[in-house]
Amino acid sequence: MQKRLSCLLPAASDECGSGLTDMHLHLNTAVTPSRLLRAAALQGVTHVCTMAAQLDDMPELFVLKQNFARQISVFVGCHPQYAATFDETRFNTYLRSPFVRGIGECGLDKRPAVLAVAPLEVQLAVLQGQLQAAYALDLPLSVHCVKAHAELLRLLRPFKGQLRLCLHGANLSAPLIEEYLKLNAYLSIGSLAFRPDCALLQCLRTADAHLRARILLESDYAGKLPCRHYYLKWLAALAPVVGLSVSELQARVARNGQEFFADGISLYSASAHCR
Ligand SMILES: [Zn+2]
């Protein structure tokens, strides 16, 4: 199986000329992070963005950054599940670290089990603070949203598409995709790539160039990958859905990842003028 999947990986000299980035995972949950990073690199994923689920994760993430400097980007944030424990002073202290490259994981989640520990009004206030910080510092965001797209869109619209936003792992309908694209969002796709009947993949089957330019790769690794050779299988599963060859999809997603991080250069000057 490994040999056959490896054949799908394009040569290093593709049009993008660099590796893929896993845009959302939790590397601190890996027993042996070096093994995970090595396995990812063998599949063409040379960089990962590791999220904080809660601020308590940050010391571990900084140690990982020291150990794997060039391979990882550290994000600081508070998953809605931990919104009730959010400490703004501590968040702002971490934000000033030169090791922090983005804000996440943040967002909203209206599942009953999450609302029981983090009421919606608390989640909204904590997310609002993180959005404002991302805008002020021009940092990329990784956003989690479950059953709360109306509320999330209401919070995002005042930023007029100037947030560097990546919506992570959300199974979106066509109208919601349109709303998020209007706000210049990227869509980070994880194991939904293996669910051909899901709404998101149905929409991607008719994806135009604009939507393809907004697709990012993620594993959402939090202790266990959904399958072996995950990244190669992700490319093989998604390529026919978006009407690209595996090699074209690899190049496209690599370029999207670079643009997601590079967008800040143009947005910084734009947002500075708007303030
Ligand atoms: Zn996550």
Kindly give the distance from the C-alpha atom of residue 143 to the centroid of ligand 1, in angstroms, as a whole number. Answer: 9
Judged against a pLDDT cut of 50, whether residue 100 lies above it is answered with yes
Kindly give the distance from the C-alpha atom of residue 104 to the centroid of ligand 1, in angstroms, as a whole number. Answer: 8
Other C-beta atoms closer than 10 Å to the C-beta of 270 total: 13
CB 142 within 8 A of CB 49: yes
Backbone angles phi, psi at 154, to 5 degrees: -65, -40
Helical segments of the chain, H only: 2-6, 33-42, 58-67, 88-95, 112-117, 120-137, 149-156, 174-182, 199-204, 209-212, 230-242, 246-274
State the first-to-last Cα distance of the chain, in angstroms, to the nearest integer.
54
Render pLDDT for 2-50 as a digit per residue (tens, 0 to 9): 444 444 444 433 333 469 999 999 999 999 999 999 999 999 999 999 9
Kindly give the distance from the C-alpha atom of residue 2 to the centroid of ligand 1, in angstroms, as a whole number. Answer: 27
Render pLDDT for 168-227 as a digit per residue (tens, 0 to 9): 999 999 999 999 999 999 999 999 999 999 999 999 998 888 898 999 999 999 998 778
Domains and CATH numbers, the chain: 20-274 (3.20.20.140)
What pTM, to 2 d.p., does this model score? 0.89
Kindly give the distance from the C-alpha atom of residue 275 to the centroid of ligand 1, in angstroms, as a whole number. Answer: 31
Q: What's the mean pLDDT when you consider all of the chain? A: 89
Render pLDDT for 41-57 as a digit per residue (tens, 0 to 9): 999 999 999 999 999 99
Kindly give the distance from the C-alpha atom of residue 24 to the centroid of ligand 1, in angstroms, as a whole number. Answer: 6
